[in-house]
Structure formats: C-alpha cells, structure tokens
Structure 1
C-alpha cells in the first residue's frame, strides 16, 4: 500500500508544481496592480474625512476599472468613465460608489 501511495504522490506533486509555475505571473500581476491602486488611492483619499472608507471604496473601484483612478483629490472623474459610472444600488438611495 505504501508503494501505491508514493506512485500517486509524485505525479500529483509534479502537477501542483506545474500549475504553480503557470499561475505565478498572474499572481505577480495582481500584486503589482494592487500596489498601483494603493498608491493612486492614497493620493485620491489624502484629504478625505473618513480615510479608511475612502481607501476601501477607491481600491475596489480601481481594481474593477483596470487601475484607473482620476487624478487629484476630488473631481476629474471624466478621466476614468468606468470609475465615474459606478453606483451603489438603484432607486432613491443610489449614489456614486467611487470617491
């Protein structure tokens, strides 16, 4: 039974290693995108009254809009139409999602 287990574990280990190598560039790109969003949102939210909420919302919008965040601390949303057009819900309580 031990020999059977060793035969299965080597191909499985090899498969996991191969999958890890194939996905490594994807994880690296995600990490760099996150760092870029952190930097852009840090500037965007630098003067916000509630910074932690601003940063959280901005980072969500940044990643959803392919790292696009308007310049400055307020306004300029026409630079990023995706960012500008994100709203919370529908109806009376609908408001812009991205700071």
Structure 2
C-alpha cells in the first residue's frame, strides 16, 4: 500500500514537471517567433531597383529603408501596403524616401 502511494506521488510529480517543461518550451518558441527576421537587403533591393533609371541611387535608398524596416515590397514598384514601415518613411522634404 505504501509503495503504491509513493509510486502514485512520483508519477504525479513527473507529469507536473513534464507539463512545466513543455509550457516553457512553447513560451520560448513564441518569443523567438516575434523577433524580426533578417532578410537579404542587397538581393531584395537589387530586384526592386532593376528597372530604375538611376539604379545606384535606388539601391542606396532601398538599402537604408530595408535596414530600418527589415522589409522590401515585392516587385519593381508599388505593393507598398505589404511593408507599411517602408512606405511611410519620408525625407526631410516630406517626400517618400523608399523607392
């Protein structure tokens, strides 16, 4: 009788510890998922600026915006709704900074 009570108590404790470990693992995964992802700004900006009449200027501005926002809209123009940070960045003259 005493052995079964000890066995039952140790079983309950081990189940509790496994549950706590699983909850901690899920919490760590959620924290890692909320971090911004790093993207290849050089490649993304090269694709974005490939049709520009001034590609070097376009890539420089795009690179700055990409570094700050970790996002570059797809395509060679438009699609700014995909990347609000990129779309809302302006110069000192209140013109859109990002190509």
Question: Could you say which residue in structure 2 is the equivalent of 1:8?
Answer: none
Question: Could you say which residue in structure 1 is the equivalent of 2:43?
Answer: 39
Task: Name the SS for the 2:51 alignment partner.
Answer: coil
How much does 1:94 deviate?
Answer: 1.8
Where do 4+ consecutive residues of structure 1 move more than 3 Å? none
CA–CA distance in structure 1, aligned partners of residues 69 and 85 of structure 2: 6
Structure 1 or 2: larger helix share? 1
How much does 1:96 deviate?
Answer: 0.0
Task: Name the SS for the 2:78 alignment partner.
Answer: coil
**Which of residues 20, 43, 55 is equivalent to 2:59?**
55
Say how many residue pairs are matched. 62
- 5 Å matches for 1:1-99? 33=38, 36-66=40-70, 68-89=71-92, 93-99=93-99
CA–CA distance in structure 2, aligned partners of residues 58 and 75 of structure 1: 13
Question: Could you say which residue in structure 1 is the equivalent of 2:30?
Answer: none
Gaps of at least 5 residues in structure 2 are: 1-37
Gaps of at least 5 residues in structure 1 are: 1-32
Query: What TM-score does the superposition give when structure 1 sets the normalisation length?
Result: 0.60
CA–CA distance in structure 2, aligned partners of residues 85 and 94 of structure 1: 10
What is the alpha-carbon root mean square deviation over aligned residues?
A: 1.2
How much does 1:65 deviate?
Answer: 0.2
Structure 1 or 2: larger strand share? 1
CA–CA distance in structure 2, aligned partners of residues 83 and 41 of structure 1: 12
